[in-house]
A and B are shown apart, each in its own frame.
Chain A
Amino acid sequence: MGVFLRVGGEFLVTVCGFNERYLEITMTALLVSVAIYTIMGGMLSVLITDYLQFVVMSVGLLVVTVLILYKVGWTNITDAVATQHGAGGFNPFVHEKLGYAFVIYFALHQLAVVLTWQTTVQRLLAAKDTLTGLKIYTRTSFFFVCRFLIPGLWGMAALAVLGPQWIGTPESLQAMPKLLSTIVPMGLMGVLIAAMLAADMSTDSAYMLTWGSVIYNDILAPFRNKNFSEKRGILWNRMIVGCIGIFLLVYGLWYPLKGNLWNYLAITGTIYLASMSVLLISCCYWKRANNWGAAGAIMAGAVIPITYLVMEQLPATKGLAARIGPYQSGIATYAVAWTAMIGGSLLKPKTETVLEEAKAL
């Protein structure tokens, strides 16, 4: 989550043509403005600003997408992808670096995201009834196609206009903003910057608010002897949101953006997503699921991605990590989390479960 602030800051700095030394100031200004309205206004201000930001962001995304198709052209875009990646550029199953492992891993990953990622679940929990909750999933499902296809199209246009020399370099993340800074005319640039600011700010505010509520309601709840008064609860929530803001800033300033950011986000996300999705499904649909299995799934779900990330950084194991690949390690994480959940739950003696249930009653 700390990476988003840096990505947003770098995007804005590149698109606006600012000097890179203003990156930290841009990031800090962005975060401070978001933190102020999130801390002071809470859910209500995030809800209203999210609505306004969605409208501005969507208009910007649509206008720029149409402009890209008009200026760069569909044929030029597809020709550039075909020259660089062949048939694999259009079909992940035949791509030499992606293949079935990529598709299976991201199917598992996206399923876990819509089931358990806090910013997604927040919408479900805010629904007035079950029917509305179901509609959130069915009617917004195509929105996920938009979320992936539009930035993908912009990236493909960057490949067509700027050429393949950016691929695999540390600067590859700046290819798309570089393209936009060259093809978007002055007036529209204002709309684009407003759209990207809106996207970045709504992401940061939603993360601060939702993770703040998780920390307050789930992590701190066992340490509270009695319920806080409303005033005290709000004060605690504001302090937690402030601390998350500081974390975002420190991590964003410290973390250097590297080539394949998408895989990095997916692997770090798997530490949480693999175990939580396994827990949610098994605790809802399997009667034998218990705390031994849950603890096993949480530990197992964290071990593989962390080991993989460490292996990627160590010179001695870097080659092995590259041979295994991020997608295979991701699939293994889900498999091991499921095995630990089932194994741990079955290992716990039934008598102990019965005793715990009786004590809880």
Chain B
Amino acid sequence: MTGEIHWFWLAMTIAVIIWYSTITIYISFRGAFDIKEMLGRLDQLAKEEREAVDRRL
């Protein structure tokens, strides 16, 4: 029984390392892309707001 539990935890540890590595690689690329897109959107929004203020003046 103890041997089986050791295997269970070993399998869980391997699963964690594989899953965590995959998520880290995925988030590194996807996150950079999302943040770049978000900053671009915020820049555009700020630009539109500035233009609206200029038009009012």
Contact = CB atoms under 8 A, between A and B. Distances in A.
Contacts of B5: 87, 90-91
B13 A90 contact: no
A262 interface: no
Most buried by A among B8, B9, B27, B42: B9
B52 interface: no
B19 A146 contact: yes
Contact of B24 (A47, A55, A150): A55
Nearest to B34: A51
Overall SS of chain A's interface:
helix
Contact of B31 (A44, A55, A91, A153): A55
Interface residues of A, number: 26
A90 B27 contact: no
A342 to B, nearest CB: 38
Given A55-B24, A150-B20, 16 more contacts: A48-B35, A51-B32, A54-B27, A55-B28, A58-B23, A58-B24, A58-B27, A59-B24, A62-B20, A74-B10, A90-B2, A90-B5, A90-B6, A90-B8, A90-B9, A150-B16
Interface string A262-293: 00000000000000000000000000000000
A184 B47 CA distance: 49
A149 interface: yes
A65 B12 CA distance: 13
Ranked 3 nearest A-B pairs via Cβ: A58-B24, A90-B5, A51-B31
A66 interface: yes
A145 B13 CA distance: 9
Contacts of A74: 10, 13
B13 A87 contact: no
Contact of B17 (A47, A62, A90): A62
Contacts of A153: 13
A143 interface: yes
Nearest to A79: B6
Contacts of A59: 24
A213 interface: no
A51 B8 CA distance: 32
A87 B2 contact: yes
Interface string B13-56: 10011011101100110011001000000100000000000000
A37 to B, nearest CB: 15
A340 B35 CA distance: 45
A90 B6 CA distance: 7
Contacts of A51: 27, 31-32, 35
Most buried by A among B8, B12, B13, B20: B20
29 contacts: A44-B42, A47-B35, A48-B35, A51-B31, A51-B32, A51-B35, A54-B27, A55-B28, A58-B20, A58-B24, A62-B17, A62-B21, A65-B17, A66-B17, A78-B6, A78-B9, A82-B2, A87-B2, A87-B5, A90-B2, A90-B6, A90-B8, A143-B23, A145-B12, A145-B16, A146-B19, A146-B20, A149-B12, A149-B16
A87 B1 contact: yes
Contacts of B42: 44
Contacts of A66: 17
Contacts of B2: 82, 87, 90
